[in-house]
Amino acid sequence: MRREPIATSIQATNLADILERVLDKGIVIAGDITIWLCDVELLNIKVRLLIASVDKAMEMGINWWESDPMLSSRARALEEERRGLEERLGKLEARLEAAS
């Protein structure tokens, strides 16, 4: 009985390739954890995790890092300007109230 070798194909996928695919397509992990005791909800945790590249996130309409003052100097400047305007508005309202 003659045996022929079995032809196998090994596709080597390294971590970098997998990460590139995940970031390109995006992946969402979602889950809810609720703890009840005697029909009383004690804890409710909603977990939503999105892993994607910046380009993919922006394509999906997600760009919170652009408006977060902790991450963007432009957002920080806008936040300071908003606070200044609120302060000026408060002073103007106080003057109008005092005048009437």
- Ordered per-residue pLDDT tens for the chain, 100 residues: 666 666 555 555 677 888 888 888 888 888 999 999 998 999 999 988 888 888 888 888 888 878 777 777 887 888 889 999 999 999 999 999 998 8
H-run or E-run covering 40: strand 40-51
Give pTM, 2 decimals.
Answer: 0.43
Q: Are strands 40-51 and 27-37 parallel, antiparallel or unpaired?
A: antiparallel
Cα dihedral: 68, 71, 77, 80 (round 10): 60
